[in-house]
Amino acid sequence: MGTVDDTPAAAAPGERTAQGCAQKLLETVFELGRELSLRDPFGAEVHSGFTVAQHHVLMWVSKLPGITMTGLARYLHTTTATATGVVDRLVRDGWLERERGDEDRRVVRLRLTERGRAEAERMLRRAHDRVATVLSLLSEHDRCSLVAIVERARAAVGARGPEQPSQEPGGAGARGEEGS
């Protein structure tokens, strides 16, 4: 596969501001998403019988085994009630299991079943393959630059504070902040 010319295009003066760059980035990602399902790497999986929300739950529980319902809701940027509804269906269908805390029975931790673990691994492989396909169209320099820029953006957002999810196993939810 050939690569795209890595010469930067001249940006109009308005496109150099944060607002201008945001507009250009959103337009570009939207257009790229028309070509490939990258706006949500798991969105292309909906045909498999899972909703996008269910895919996100499986991926977060895979990444953070033992996460609480409160923590999961924070990562999903939704309410605990909404997350509980998604989790209920995944538990019912054998993808997830709930565990009560030993020290505080009100605390519920989530874990993938063996079946759920296999599905999460398959989803992650497919998402990785889709992203790798797009990155293969870029030069090595552009791939490395893109990763570095996204890592810097992630660090800057993380340093900002409150909006970043903070729940991890053993974190705030472990102190009994939930009952689901």
Helix (H, G, I), strand (E, B) or coil at 25: helix
Q: What is the rounded average pLDDT for all residues in the chain?
A: 79
pLDDT for the residue numbered 130: 83
Domain segments of the chain as ranges? 24-175
> Helix, strand, coil: what percent of the chain each, to 5?
60, 5, 35
Give the whole-angstrom CA distance, residue 153 versus residue 139: 21
For residue 179, pLDDT over 60 is answered with no
pLDDT for the residue numbered 167: 44
Closest alpha carbon to 57 in 93, 95, 92: 95
pLDDT for the residue numbered 17: 86
Q: Indicate the pLDDT class of residue 37, thresholds 50, 70 and 90.
A: low
Q: Which residue has the higher pLDDT, 144 or 130?
A: 144
Question: Any idea what DSSP says for residue 2?
Answer: -
Q: What is the pLDDT of residues 81-103, one digit of tens each?
A: 999 999 999 999 999 999 987 78
Give the whole-angstrom CA distance, residue 174 versus residue 63: 17
pLDDT for the residue numbered 96: 97
List the CATH code of the domain at 24-175.
1.10.10.10
Q: What is the pTM of this model?
A: 0.68
